[in-house]
Amino acid sequence: MSTDRRSFFTRLASAAAGLWAGTRAIAQQQQPVPAAQQPATAPSAAHQNMPGMTMPQSASGRTSTAGAVTSRATNLPVEMPDLPKLRYKLVDGVKEFNLIAEVVRTEFAPGRLVDAWGFNGSVPGPTIEVNQGDRVRVVFDNHLPEMTAVHWHGFEVPMEMDGSVGLGQDPVPPGGRFVYEFTLNQAGTFFYHSHFAMQEMMGMLGMFIMHPKEPYTPAVHRDFGIVIQEWALLANNTVPNTLSMEFNWLTFNGKSGPACTPMLVRQGERVRIRLVNLGMDHHPIHLHGNQFVVTGTEAGRKPQHLWFEENTVLVGVAQAREFEFDAKYVGDWMLHCHLPHHMMNQMASMVGPVMSSGRGLQTGAGMEAGMGIVRQGNALSEELGPSFGRGLGLAADVERLTSNLVGPQAMLDRGASGTTTMPGHDMSQMKGQAPTPTGHEGHNMPGQTDSAMDMYPKDDPEKKKIPGYPQDMWMPADAMFQKPENHGLRKGWSGAMGGMMTLVRVLPPEKYDEIMQLVQRKAQQSPEERKPAGHVLVGTVEAVSESTGKLTVKHGNVEGWMGAMTMAYPVDKPDMLKRIKAGDQIKANVYEGDFTLHDVEVMQSGK
Ligand SMILES: [Cu+2]
């Protein structure tokens, strides 16, 4: 990774790249999913008719006043924002599921494409729901290029059904099939995963709900599930680095904030949220504005005298937690991991350059080294050893090279042109391989003087003399995340969301009904109707990247939608990148909520 100022901004911008460069909804990135498995983001889609379950009254269209919602105890289908459910067929009284391990191209945020491993076209895998006492058969097919198996985490099932390769069963080879079958007498929030450690970090995890024979009391009106995962992804790289000990993409149900679909709740409802975690970190999950009681763990429901109030629940690795609360207070309440680095996207060694003014705190020689990617030499070499990851400051010289933004060193390095250069780092190498916004000045969205939407850091030499500046960024992109579930959020809301962050929107009844109508209308739309408003974008090509399928375009205002900026856009037909070169004037169609260039036309060929 280059270490000049531009690359600093590239790194800053790479956080934005996930936001800015976009493509269509996840469904198009994945294998076709049967209608029954469509992501369940709304009660209308989530409430499948499963035996032993009934719809929550609040979702049936019945209007009620806040606080007056009642329901008898019943098992509700769990709503998994942004994730599908796995359907079963009943075969001689056995619930039979077909689970398929496979490579899945997914999107953590619009444009942040990831080639992970999951199940049935989904990362994490689709949620499986059964009832206590069910006989369950899982026909498991391995479509991965290597052996695997499925471990049923926490299940009390026979040894040969445990999915522990070597001990209980042989590995399932590529193309192979294994049939798991067991009777489930437990109840609670469980999960399934590959027991190969590296495959776990490629995404092979899914939630498994066992509904109790005797529904829990007090009854809840909404029952949500969230799968917690973490990933190491270099900018412009789609394959997770499973060797890394540092994680820069944090997901709830396979999405990072602000792309996580909010959980919608009518004021007065009682809400259950189930969380499972499988990764390298424990995540303290915090809910704003509400106390909750922790009612269950990975071993199921706890008796009421063991419940205790919290507003942050630590979900350790391999654990499940269930909490419940009465949604008394109207608000768009954040639910998020409270580890500071888990509230950002594409977080890498950004703090490195910032922290070292002259002799600084060692935080890694660069983004790649910090994430365990070594291009030359080895990780314990003289150059890399001391500065590897979170080192001890022994490689301050190396570190200083990465710092030309802050403090006296930055002033010294500042050339007559007002830009900084670093000896030994050829910025021209960046061309064509950095499909990210190429200048922070271009990031402003419409309403450029609007404090809700303005972004920083601005390039202000005076501020850069202040130790520690800059720390945080503000990169709202509300337009990218338009969907009914986000309807009515305060302007700039998306700037507040990153990483493991989602919302529990406790809505007054009228507003809840209004949004649910929008959600349901969208669910009923045909793909053609769902096509958002289109705009024409005209600009000059700055770089073409066939490897990422992106075109960096400097363009003017996109009438009625987006301000002028330079940014890397995916194109709908990557093949056509062969016919485009830097300098070309192009015209393309873009659609709201989708930052992909469609129908790209070369207006004038560049020299
Ligand atoms: Cu966390």
Q: What is the largest CA-CA distance in the chain?
A: 80
C-alpha 15 – ligand 1 centre gap (Å): 17
Residue 72's pLDDT band (boundaries 50, 70, 90)?
A: low
Residue 66's pLDDT band (boundaries 50, 70, 90)?
A: very low
C-alpha 232 – ligand 1 centre gap (Å): 13
pLDDT, mean of residues 552-568? 79
The tokens describing 482, both together, are 């338009």
C-alpha 110 – ligand 1 centre gap (Å): 21
C-alpha 249 – ligand 1 centre gap (Å): 10
* Predicted local confidence at residue 441, as pLDDT: 34
Residue 412's pLDDT band (boundaries 50, 70, 90)?
A: very low
C-alpha 507 – ligand 1 centre gap (Å): 27
C-alpha 426 – ligand 1 centre gap (Å): 36
Q: E strands, 371-497, where?
A: none
C-alpha 255 – ligand 1 centre gap (Å): 14
C-alpha 498 – ligand 1 centre gap (Å): 12
Residue 404's pLDDT band (boundaries 50, 70, 90)?
A: very low
C-alpha 594 – ligand 1 centre gap (Å): 28
Mean pLDDT of the chain: 76
C-alpha 122 – ligand 1 centre gap (Å): 22
> pLDDT by residue (tens digit) across 351-382?
333 333 333 334 445 556 655 566 666 655 55
C-alpha 480 – ligand 1 centre gap (Å): 24
C-alpha 231 – ligand 1 centre gap (Å): 11
Nearest to 222 by CA among 75, 339, 336: 75
Residue 236's pLDDT band (boundaries 50, 70, 90)?
A: low
Q: Comparing 80-89, 490-499, 500-509, which segment has the lowest mean pLDDT?
A: 490-499
Residue 435 has pLDDT above 70, yes or no: no
Q: Rounded to whole angstroms, what are the CA distances from 227 to 96, 97, 148, 517?
A: 23, 20, 21, 27
| Bigger pLDDT: 17 vs 133 | 133
* Predicted local confidence at residue 245, as pLDDT: 82
Residue 50 has pLDDT above 70, yes or no: no
- Number of Cβ within 10 Å of residue 427's Cβ equals 15
| Bigger pLDDT: 465 vs 70 | 465
pLDDT, mean of residues 256-264? 95
C-alpha 313 – ligand 1 centre gap (Å): 11
C-alpha 257 – ligand 1 centre gap (Å): 13
C-alpha 251 – ligand 1 centre gap (Å): 9
Residue 52 has pLDDT above 60, yes or no: no
Residue 322 has pLDDT above 80, yes or no: yes
Q: Rounded to whole angstroms, what are the CA distances from 274 to 186, 298, 315?
A: 16, 10, 10
Residue 128's pLDDT band (boundaries 50, 70, 90)?
A: very high
C-alpha 587 – ligand 1 centre gap (Å): 42
Nearest to 207 by CA among 303, 119, 316: 119
C-alpha 46 – ligand 1 centre gap (Å): 27
Residue 40 has pLDDT above 50, yes or no: no
C-alpha 261 – ligand 1 centre gap (Å): 18
Contact 308, 294 (CB under 8 A): yes
Range with top average pLDDT, 28-37, 297-306, 540-549: 297-306
Distance of CA 78 to the CA centre of its chain: 20
pLDDT, mean of residues 475-486? 86
C-alpha 6 – ligand 1 centre gap (Å): 30
* Predicted local confidence at residue 22, as pLDDT: 30
Q: Comparing 407-421, 462-476, 501-515, 590-604, which segment has the lowest mean pLDDT?
A: 407-421
| Bigger pLDDT: 538 vs 466 | 538
* Predicted local confidence at residue 467, as pLDDT: 78
The tokens describing 22, both together, are 């976009």
C-alpha 347 – ligand 1 centre gap (Å): 13
C-alpha 227 – ligand 1 centre gap (Å): 12
C-alpha 435 – ligand 1 centre gap (Å): 28
- Helical ranges in 109-194 per DSSP H: none
C-alpha 32 – ligand 1 centre gap (Å): 31
* Predicted local confidence at residue 459, as pLDDT: 61
pLDDT, mean of residues 399-421? 37
C-alpha 96 – ligand 1 centre gap (Å): 35
> pLDDT by residue (tens digit) across 239-249?
998 888 888 89
C-alpha 79 – ligand 1 centre gap (Å): 22
C-alpha 247 – ligand 1 centre gap (Å): 10
C-alpha 97 – ligand 1 centre gap (Å): 32
C-alpha 505 – ligand 1 centre gap (Å): 21
Q: What percent of the chain has pLDDT over 70?
A: 67
* Predicted local confidence at residue 408, as pLDDT: 39
Residue 535's pLDDT band (boundaries 50, 70, 90)?
A: confident
Q: Comparing 83-97, 317-331, 409-423, 439-453, which segment has the lowest mean pLDDT?
A: 409-423
C-alpha 321 – ligand 1 centre gap (Å): 14
- Number of Cβ within 10 Å of residue 533's Cβ equals 11
Domains and CATH numbers, the chain: 89-343 (2.60.40.420), 350-410+454-471 (no CATH), 534-604 (2.40.50.320)
C-alpha 344 – ligand 1 centre gap (Å): 10
Q: Comparing 27-36, 508-517, 541-550, 570-579, which segment has the lowest mean pLDDT?
A: 27-36
SS3 content of the chain, % helix, strand, coil (to 5): 20, 30, 50
Q: Comparing 367-381, 529-543, 577-591, which segment has the lowest mean pLDDT?
A: 367-381
Q: Rounded to whole angstroms, what are the CA distances from 332 to 135, 289, 379, 496, 577?
A: 40, 9, 45, 12, 42
* Predicted local confidence at residue 73, as pLDDT: 75
* Predicted local confidence at residue 71, as pLDDT: 52
C-alpha 434 – ligand 1 centre gap (Å): 28
C-alpha 281 – ligand 1 centre gap (Å): 7
> pLDDT by residue (tens digit) across 110-125?
878 899 999 999 999 9
Q: Cα–Cα distance between 278 and 285 in angstroms, integer? A: 14
Nearest to 562 by CA among 542, 535, 543, 597: 535
Q: Cα–Cα distance between 293 and 281 in angstroms, integer? A: 23
* Predicted local confidence at residue 367, as pLDDT: 57
> pLDDT by residue (tens digit) across 182-216?
999 999 999 999 999 999 999 999 999 999 999 99
pLDDT, mean of residues 88-95? 96
Range with top average pLDDT, 10-24, 38-52, 396-410, 547-561: 547-561
